[in-house]
Amino acid sequence: MSSIDDMPTGQRRIKVERRLNPNASWTLAMYLIATLFGLGLTALLIWTSGADVLKAFITLFDGAFGSQKAWIASLAKATPLILTGLATIVAFRAQVWSIGQEGQVYSGAMGAYLACLVFADLPVGIYLSLIILSGMIAGAGLGIIAAILKTRFGVNEIISTVMMNYLIVFLLSYLIGGGPWTEVSSSVVYQQSAQIPDAAQLPYLFGTAKLHIAFVFALIAAVFCYVVLEKTPLGYEIRAMGFNPVALAHRGTNIGRTMIIVMAISGAIAGLAGVSEIFGTSHRVRVDTLYGFGFTGIIIGMIGGLRPLGAVIAGILFGGLETGALYMKLLAKVPAAIVPAMEGILLLTFLIAGVAARYKIVRVNTND
Amino acid sequence: MSPLLKCVELTKRFPGVVANDRVTFDLMLGEVHCLFGENGAGKSTLSSCLFGYYQPEGGHIECDGSPVKFNSPRDAIAVGIGMVHQHFVLVADFTVLENIVVGTHAKGWKLDLKSARARVDALCQQYDINLDLDAYVRDLAVGQQQWVEILKALYLDARILILDEPTAVLTPDESERLFHIIDQMCQRHISIILISHKMSEVMQADRVTVLRKGAVVGTVEIADATPDMLTKMMVGRDVALRVSRTNTADQGDVKKPVLEVRNVSYVAASGKSALTDITLTIHSGEILGLAGVSGNGQKELFEVLSGILVPDAGEITLDGATVTGMQSRDYMQRGVGLIPDDRFREGLIPEFSVQENMILGWQRDDAYTSGPFLSAAKIKENGGAMIDAFQIKVPSGATPVNHLSGGNAQKVILAREFSQSSTLLLANQPTRGLDLGVIEYVYSQIIAKRDQGYAVLLASEELEDLLNISDRIVVMSDGKIVGIVNAQDSSVPEIGQLMTGAQAA
Amino acid sequence: MTELFSEAILISIFAGTVRIMTPILFAAIGELVTQRAGIWNMGVEGTMLMGSFTAYFVATSTGSIWLAVLAAVMSGVMMGLVTAFMTVTMRVDHFISGLGINLLVAGLTLYWFRIYIAGRAQPTFDGFNSVAIPGLSQIPYLGPILFDQRLLTYLAFAAVPMIWFLLYRTRWGLELRCLGENPKALDIKGLSVVRRQYMAVLIGSAMTGLGGGFLMLGFSDRFLADITAGRGWLAIVAIIAGNWMPRGVLAAVFVFALLESIGTHVQVLGLNMPHQIFLAMPYLASILLLMGLRRKTNQPVKLGIPYFR
């Protein structure tokens, strides 16, 4: 309705006005500019470290998608990211600002590991199913706690989930760092659990020794999220809650109940990411291998436009970046930490693009 | 004699609409000049341009005969223009004095309330305004908050005062007092621009400029004007200003009570008692009007009667069944429809499409689902039917509701609530902010529902409308019922007295 | 456990509390100014981290810790500019932009850190030492606790009444509080909401950066990737628990710092308990604190809501 900027240039003024109707090509242009700007800033960062920028980018993308082997590694890395991205989307679409994906990943890994210990003698199919289910339940549990804290006690969900992230990590570091799950071998104490039994390992796809069925789970979860959000009454309520919880509550929907369901789904999917990492990739529980999936998932969800398909694409992209980063580190001598920095930059530029897409530049004649 | 303030060919555009179209308007020293027009005619926009809040794209403004440019309200305030807004711009957690002082340019960094207090006290003396300067605004009645707004402008030495719909939230008594003060101001050589859509107020001014769809229709001296003439100028055709008296459908002598409320009380989270001991009955085929200035518990009453709030005491019976303590979901399923007063915030999901909004609250109903999924076909069909039945002007059912005008958005709510309800209709300010044409339509639809046998609770700030349409009228003040009258036998002064009588008590 | 209650240990615990309070207090009081102006800066953690890293970088490359302090403040101002641009100018949702900043800073500082120490032993610096106030520091019990601290600690505590005065006794403070409650009231008088909100954010972020700087310079001699460890979040919780008033914030920060101090001492004393329990205390306490809040909230009405005309 009003102008953000008013820069009089003589008789001609440039005004920035809010758009009435979203324009697809303008929106695309904004996001393209955001991507280029983000890449540009990243290039600047690489350049200031003294490395060869062009070589850095080439090795980065080569290591990500340059060969079949690279693709497989990227998709494997993408799996937990897609899942945490989906978890973010389910919550954020309802305007529930859960930052708990990180903790739910850990919680899922822990729940699954517990099942792995408890149900060790069962036939493989049931064993694996229970492990996966336990992981999802553990993740969902953490989410439900945050939802209850919000609906019953009015505790801001950002703060409660951030705090619980720390608490869960402390719990895990105790369990595997001196506690009952610690691996001890010939008087050396490691900060990790013992290796999971072979029967608990998630089967690999296509005979690769890297890409496991959790990737399929991630895709299924994406379809699930899409269908629920767009095609079911629950999805209607989630989306409505994200836009206008007041009107939704006035017309008969129990917001508290909906929030609990949202956080349960979000937590379960994030927990699945933890299962994927432990039982598909690293095969033992450590704090550092699980670190960061949750936070990156937030970025992926946002960059993916809070759409399940977007999360899949962004997840694969980011999985590629993280795979390529190792290659880049080796060949172009750029610290792998450029990737989280780049992810953060892209998030901010995309956020700005999202706002800019809603405005347009207009030239206005003023007669003075 | 040259005008004090003047605008020439003033044009103001917003995305998609020309709010002011080459408006020429002037204000003489010591006069009360009314800006008259329907909602959306451009009255508020014009005044905001005169106040420097908006910058016009075309035309110019002259003050004391020479052209001026207001880049911000600071420039307008500097030449002595003050504005009292329709929707108050106050800080609830500040005191009256702090509200008046904040943002005014005193010298230095220190917060000097002492000298400010002296000045405000003097002003209050001058105009016989009775306010506790250390009271928190959140504790003040709406009418008193109005005084704070006025004092804010006077404190800045306004010699031109723009009053935007000042009596919208005042009781008839308070309105009278306000006009008394306006008189006093004129005697002190303060010139007034009065924005109003109420004929009774227009006729008290010296001159009136009628706006329609952003353009000036004409400027006349009140001495030469008649209400009919002004209405015609405002709307562009001959039309009765308000809905005329209708007769209750004849249902015989025995009317079945649909809603019975007994001794209902509700205490808000802040501890304030919003509703005290409410007892009323609404019968089928009856419109019960709810009169009272906003802020006296009407909103809470509507929310209690629709299940959004649960009362702390008392009983509610619907069609003979006790529903006290039930949630909005249950009320909806028992046939209660609600038209909220804040349509975009409480009745619609603005980003959702028209057809999606049509099923808000009914998204799990068999009528709109197939199996566990939403049925796009059923939703679309329902949307189309509603759009036709209620003549909603919209490109398609998939259009987002936030693209609709206030009137069309209200029609969406009407369509939904009318078709989903079956016994009781709760309408809270259903015509607020709408054009005359849409207002007529809304009232006619509500009357039609009454004739079908619905019980209707209708709240409106336009007392004439209530008197014309309701069968009985209940008057609320400060969370209590202060009177129930028969509409046919009552009048605006009587209701006004009931409202203020309680306040005086 | 009873070892905890010996006199020397108790004094050490409380003295440690005062020191631990310093960075969180800077951040919390700074963020209080920002929040009272209506901006919910969720990026406190990131701003603090940036301050810590900047302090480390400058301290180890120039050798001057006071220069490092200045740099930390400047980095806070830079972060404040980004924050203000996102929230005030672009009107991005406050929560999301803050989270984005946290993630960005986490990535950036790690990256710069890795480049900085590439191929060599991690450089260290000499941090702040305590400056005992003559006379006052001799008072039994209170002396060593309150008056034998680093200079910046004294500053942090002085900042509390200073900010109180700013908010409640100056013209500017009234306008700032007005921003958080109803910015339109200022806009309607032609006063720039944008400019004032920028100022509030810059001040808040500068103080947070300073807090981050002290976290680095007053506690250790080298940088770690997650040195802030959630203290920025604790600052935010302190504001909520303190009901947006300076003295309440002070009290809440005290509670968090006390718990952390107890936890450190327990670890050092080698008591037979998993040390994670004490590490977890502040975070658990914040959740419990927030659960227990039932009183009338002083939360600025328009906090977190971007201002549109």
- For residues A6 and C281, the model is more confident at C281
Cβ(B194)–Cβ(B34) below 8 Å: yes
Strands (E) across A84-243 are located at 182-185, 188-193
Phi/psi of residue A367, nearest 5 degrees: -105, 125
Residue B505 carries which side chain, given as an amino acid letter?
Answer: A
Write out chain C residues lying below 8 Å of B108, CB-based: 171
Nearest residue on chain A to C87, alpha-carbon basis: A352
Q: Considering only A7-16, A238-247, B335-344, B468-477, which range has the smallest mean pLDDT?
A: A7-16
Q: Grade residue B253 by pLDDT with cuts at 50, 70 and 90.
A: low
Pick from B75, B83, B103: which is nearest to C191 by CB? B103
Q: How far is C-alpha C265 from the geometric centre of its chain's CA atoms?
A: 22
C56 within domain boundaries: yes
Q: Alpha-carbon torsion B96, B98, B104, B106, what sign? A: positive
Q: Which of C96, C105, C280 sits opposite A170 (nearest CB)?
A: C280
Give the C-alpha distances (Å, rounded to integers) separating A143 from A103, A136, C280.
9, 11, 19
Closest in A159, A167, A351 to C97, CB measured: A351
> What mean pLDDT is reported for chain B?
87
Q: By the CB < 8 Å criterion, does B77 face chain A?
A: no
Q: Which helix (H) or strand (E) covers residue A354, if one does?
A: helix A338-356
Q: Which residue of C has its CA nearest to A302?
A: C96
Domain membership of residue C171 (yes or no) is yes
**Average of per-residue pLDDT across A265-271:** 97
Q: Which of the four pLDDT bands, split at 50, 70 and 90, describes residue A24?
A: confident
Q: Is the pLDDT of residue B373 over 50?
A: yes
Most distant CA atoms of chain B, gap in Å: 77
Task: Enumerate the residues of chain A whose CB falls inside 8 A of the CB of residue C283.
Answer: 163-164, 166-167
Q: What is the pLDDT of residues C52-103, one digit of tens each?
A: 999 999 999 998 889 999 999 999 999 999 999 999 998 888 888 898 899 8
pLDDT at B505 over 50: no
Give yes or no for a contact between C181 and C301, defined as CB atoms under 8 angstroms apart: yes
For chain C, the straight-line distance linking the first and the last C-alpha, in angstroms and rounded, comes to: 60
Instruction: Note whether A236 contacts B363, CB cutoff 8 Å.
Output: yes
- Give the pLDDT band (50/70/90) at residue A15: low
Please report, for residues C106, C245, C284, the alpha-carbon distance to residue C241 in angstroms, rounded to integers and kept in the order given: 26, 9, 13
In chain C, which residues touch A (CB < 8 A)?
42, 82, 86, 89-92, 95-97, 99-101, 103-108, 110-111, 113-115, 118, 229-230, 233, 236-237, 240, 274, 276-277, 279-280, 283-284, 286-287, 290-291, 293, 308-309
Counting beta carbons within 10 angstroms of the beta carbon of residue A11, is it exposed (0 to 12), middle (13 to 18) or buried (19 or more)? Answer: exposed
Contacts of C182 in chain B (CB under 8 A): 89-92
CA A31 to the chain's CA centroid:
19
Burial environment of residue B484 by CB neighbours within 10 A (0 to 12, 13 to 18, 19 or more): middle
pTM: 0.87
Most confident segment among B221-230, B299-308, B390-399: B299-308
Q: Which residues contact B319 (CB under 8 A, 6 or more apart)?
A: B258, B334, B335, B423
List the single residue in A with minimal CA-CA distance to B376.
Answer: A231
ipTM: 0.85
Output the pLDDT for position C203: 96
Mean pLDDT over each residue of chain A, to the nearest integer? 87
Give pLDDT, residue A3: 35
- For residue A349, what are the CA distances in angstroms to A139, A316, B405, C128, C229? 31, 19, 34, 38, 26
CA–CA gap between residue B213 and residue B437 (Å, rounded): 14
Residues A122 and A255: beta-carbon distance below 8 Å: no
Q: Which residues contact C164 (CB under 8 A, 6 or more apart)?
A: C246, C247
State how many domains chain C has.
1
Contact present, B222 and B208 (Cβ < 8 Å): yes
Say how far apart CA B482 and CA B354 lie, in whole Å: 40
A238's tokens: 């989630």
Could you tell me which of A264, A269, A271 has the C-alpha nearest to residue A151? A264
Structure-block tokens of residue A30: 């904004």
Is A6 in the B-facing interface, judged by CB distances under 8 Å?
A: yes
Q: Letter for the amino acid at C198?
A: Y
Q: Which residues contact A41 (CB under 8 A, 6 or more apart)?
A: A345, A349
In a domain, C308, yes or no: no
Average pLDDT over residues A275-282: 92
Secondary structure letter of residue C148 according to DSSP: E
Whole-number pLDDT of residue A227: 96
What is the nearest CA distance from A156 to chain C, expressed in angstroms?
A: 8
Is residue B262 helix, strand or coil? strand
Low-confidence ranges of chain C (pLDDT < 50): none
Give me the amino acid identity at B34: C
Find the helix or strand (DSSP H, E) in which C18 lies: helix C7-36
Residue closest to C267 by CA, chosen among C19, A189, C259, C150: C259
Read off the pLDDT of each residue in B222-228 and give the average, rounded to a whole number: 86
pLDDT category, A10, cuts 50, 70, 90? very low
pLDDT tens-digit series, residues B93-121: 999 999 999 988 767 778 878 888 999 99
The yes-or-no verdict on residue A168 having pLDDT over 70 is: yes
The verdict on a CB contact (< 8 Å) between B352 and A18 is: no
> Angle formed by the axes of helices C246-269 and C231-241, to 10°?
140
* Residue bearing the bigger pLDDT, B496 or B420: B420
**Per-residue confidence (pLDDT) for residue A4, from 0 to 100:** 31
Sign of the CA dihedral running A347, A352, A358, A363 = negative
**In sequence order, what are the beta bridge partners of B63?**
B5, B66
Residue C297 falls inside a structural domain: no
Residues with Cβ within 8 Å of B318's Cβ and at least 6 positions away in sequence, in order, are B258, B259, B331, B334, B336, B423, B424
Cβ distance A340 to C107 less than 8 Å, yes or no, reads yes
Nearest-CB residue to B329 (from A235, A252, A367):
A252
**CA–CA dist B491, B468 (Å, integer):** 10
Question: Can you give the residue range of the structural domain that contains C81?
Answer: 2-116+150-292
The segment with the largest mean pLDDT, out of A92-106, A175-189, B162-176, is A92-106
Where does residue B65 rank: exposed (0-12), middle (13-18), buried (19+ CB within 10 A)? Answer: exposed
Within a 10 A sphere around the Cβ of B143, how many other Cβ atoms? 20
pLDDT band per the 50, 70, 90 thresholds, residue A364: low
Those residues whose C-beta lies under 8 Å from the C-beta of residue B149, and which sit 6 or more positions away, are B84, B85, B88, B89, B90
Q: Which of C170, C185, C191 sits opposite B89 (nearest CB)?
A: C185
The answer to whether residue B234 scores a pLDDT higher than 70 is yes
Please say whether the beta carbons of B306 and B336 come within 8 A. yes
Q: Give the separation between CA C126 and CA C134, rounded to whole angstroms.
A: 23
Mean pLDDT, residues B453-458: 92
CB A368 within 8 A of CB A27: no
| Largest Cα–Cα separation, chain C | 64
As given in the structure block, the two tokens for residue C119 are: 């191929």
* Contact: C101, A154; criterion CB under 8 Å: no
Eight-state DSSP code of residue B54: S
CB contact (8 A) between residue A156 and residue C240 = yes
Q: Which helix (H) or strand (E) holds B409?
A: helix B406-420
pLDDT of residue B247: 56
Alpha helices in C117-245 (DSSP H): 142-146, 151-169, 171-181, 184-187, 193-217, 231-241
Position C139 in a domain: no
Residue C286 domain flag: yes
Contacts of A106 by beta carbon, 8 Å cutoff, 6+ apart = A165, A168, A169, A172, A274, A287, A290
Provide the pLDDT for residue C78.
97
Q: What is the pLDDT of residue A368?
A: 36
Tell whether A167 lies on the interface with C, counting CB pairs under 8 A.
Answer: yes
Query: Is residue C76 within 8 Å of residue A282, measured between CB atoms?
Result: no
In this predicted model, what pLDDT tens digit does every residue of A284-304 receive, in sequence order? 888 888 988 999 999 999 888
Task: List helix spans (H) across B283-333.
Answer: 298-305, 328-333
For residue B6, what are the β-bridge partners? B26, B62
Give how far the C-alpha of residue A107 lies from the chain's centroid of Cα atoms, to the nearest Å. 16
Task: With a cut of 80, say whether residue A8 has pLDDT above it.
Answer: no
Neighbouring C-beta atoms of residue B201, cutoff 10 Å: 23
pLDDT value of residue C151: 87
Tokens standing for residue A237 = 């309520």
Residue of B70, B360, B366, B405 for testing the chain A interface, max A β-carbons within 10 Å: B360
Mean pLDDT within A232-247: 95
Closest CA to B452 of B285, B251, B268: B285
3 state SS of B12: strand
Residue B485 — φ and ψ, nearest 5°?
A: -125, 165
Q: Looking at chain C, how many residues does it have?
A: 309
Residue B403 has what DSSP assignment? Answer: G
pLDDT of residue C105: 94
Residue B149 CA to residue B301 CA, distance in Å, equals 28
The reported pLDDT for the residue numbered B103 is 85
CATH number for the domain harbouring residue C50: 1.10.3470
pLDDT at B199 over 90: no
